[in-house]
Amino acid sequence: MKTSINTYSFSRFRNSEGNPLTMPEMADTAKEMGFDAIEFVGLAIPEGMNTDIKGFAKYMRDYCKNIGLSISAYTVGADFLVPGVADRLKAEVDIAEALGAKLMRHDITFGQPEGKTYFDLIPEFAKEANTVTEYAAAKGIRTCTENHGYFSQDSDRVVALCKAVNNKNFGLLVDFGNFMCADQISGEAVKEAAPYAIHVHAKDFKYISKEESKDPPAGYFNTRAGNHIMGCALGDGVVNVRECVKIMKSVNYDGYITLEFEGPFGDPKEEVKKGLKFLKSCF
């Protein structure tokens, strides 16, 4: 297994001038910290750079190659309940191609239509996801979706979707921590989803049940059932990351495990360093 970090994790990092990191600076920082790869969550062209988004994707492809940093994935948002999203995602596949990413992750949806269950909507979701992955396959890019967005978060839901898509070019991005947003125990959920994984996120949360507190401290947000979680350094929360890595090994997963840090407190650089050290110890 190899380590990666996604650019979302750099959201609280600052450069020497106190400004948010540009994407080239994110790549430099990932390399300096000892990550094998970086996952781009969208692309943001630095101020003053005269190029379009595909030109910048090619720039970042070459930049990462020159510093010896691989690109593990390209991640974008999506909502298949919005008309025309498959066509927009095809355009994102073109950007992934320019970036040199061999994997693109997209969401499924963030909302639940009144009177519809997730399983009612799986045929529609699967049709759209298959359209996107067939387009991507022609460019040598695999696509996946993540347990993400509350409605499309449970292990049984995303596994059922993957089975419905039924395409070898499509799989799951299994996020160890995100199952908690749907009030699932991470180890049990990962065990169900692991056979369909083509990419992995390692994330950790601290946890307070709704019985313990109706008004949790600052930094916490609610799970679907009304419990409270807060992002933290890998190894400092309740997600059994070590067990999850062991499960991934048991299904012969040997791709990237991407650290995702979204903690609201502490020095983010030190928290990521701590998380990376812990993640490597799990290997």
Let me know if domain 2-205+238-282 sits in CATH 3.10.20.30.
Answer: no
User: With contact defined as beta carbons under 8 Å apart, do 187 and 247 qualify?
Assistant: yes
Q: Render pLDDT for 123-134 as a digit per residue (tens, 0 to 9).
A: 999 999 999 999
Residues forming beta bridges with residue 230, ordered by sequence position: 206
Query: For residues 176 and 245, what is the distance between their CA atoms, to the nearest angstrom?
Result: 9
Split at pLDDT 50, 70, 90, the class of 202 is: very high
Q: How many CB atoms lie within 10 A of CB 168?
A: 10
Residues, the chain, total?
A: 283
Query: For residues 54 and 98, what is the distance between their CA atoms, to the nearest angstrom?
Result: 6
Report the SS3 class of residue 209. coil
Residue boundaries of the structural domains of the chain: 2-205+238-282
Q: What's the one-letter identity of residue 9?
A: S
Contacting residues for 105 by C-beta, under 8 A, at least 6 apart = 73, 74, 75, 76, 143, 144, 145, 146, 173, 199
Residue with the two structure tokens 């991934």: 248
Q: Render pLDDT for 68-91 as a digit per residue (tens, 0 to 9).
A: 999 999 999 999 999 999 999 999
Q: How confident is the model at residue 80, as a pLDDT?
A: 97
CA distances for 249 relative to 1, 95, 161, 203, angstroms: 9, 31, 23, 17
Report the SS3 class of residue 218. coil
Q: How confident is the model at residue 6, as a pLDDT?
A: 98
Q: Render pLDDT for 9-63 as a digit per residue (tens, 0 to 9).
A: 999 999 999 999 999 999 999 999 999 999 999 999 999 999 999 999 999 999 9
Mean pLDDT of the chain: 97
Q: Write out the two tokens for 198.
A: 């083509």
